[in-house]
Amino acid sequence: MTTPQISQDPLYQMLRNDDVAGFNQARESGQACDLQGCDLRGLDLRKLNLTGMDLTDTYFRGSDLRGIDFRGCRLDGASLADARVSGCYFPNDISATEIQMSVSLGTRLRQL
């Protein structure tokens, strides 16, 4: 297990500063962002566009993820401890039990 990182990536910093709209706009304009292993705990990330991102080992503890579409994202090793996940879409290769255990017990997701 890796320790969650505070990245200096400008798009990551937008999320840390509650600028989800700015993050989405930057991604739509073609800017790349690496969120692998990043610390996103306690953030309001509703309406975040994560299409096709690699979120391996990302730490979402206590974040508001409601309505995010994670289909097409890589979530192996991500933690959803105490996150709000209602209305989220998850990849088909992550079971509902796996998601529930991550939210309630803090286990890392295993993606096949």
Residue 81: predicted pLDDT: 97
Q: Could you tell me the two tokens for 63?
A: 């974040």
Residue 111: predicted pLDDT: 86
Helix (H) or strand (E) holding 26: helix 20-28
Residue 88: predicted pLDDT: 97
Q: Write out pLDDT tens, residues 20-56.
A: 999 999 999 999 999 999 999 999 999 999 999 999 9
In CATH, the number for domain 1-112 is 2.160.20
Residue 112 in this model has a pLDDT that exceeds 90: no
Residue with tokens 């796996």: 98
Cβ atoms of 79 and 62 closer than 8 Å: no
Q: How confident is the model at residue 4 (pLDDT cuts 50, 70, 90)?
A: confident
Compute CA distances 91 → 10, 38, 94, 95, whole Å: 27, 20, 6, 9
Q: Could you tell me the two tokens for 82?
A: 């105490």
Alpha-carbon span 42 to 55, nearest angstrom: 16
Q: How confident is the model at residue 1 (pLDDT cuts 50, 70, 90)?
A: low
What ranges do the domains of the chain cover? Answer: 1-112
Q: Write out pLDDT tens, residues 67-104.
A: 999 999 999 999 999 999 999 999 999 999 999 999 99
E strands along 37-106, which residues?
none
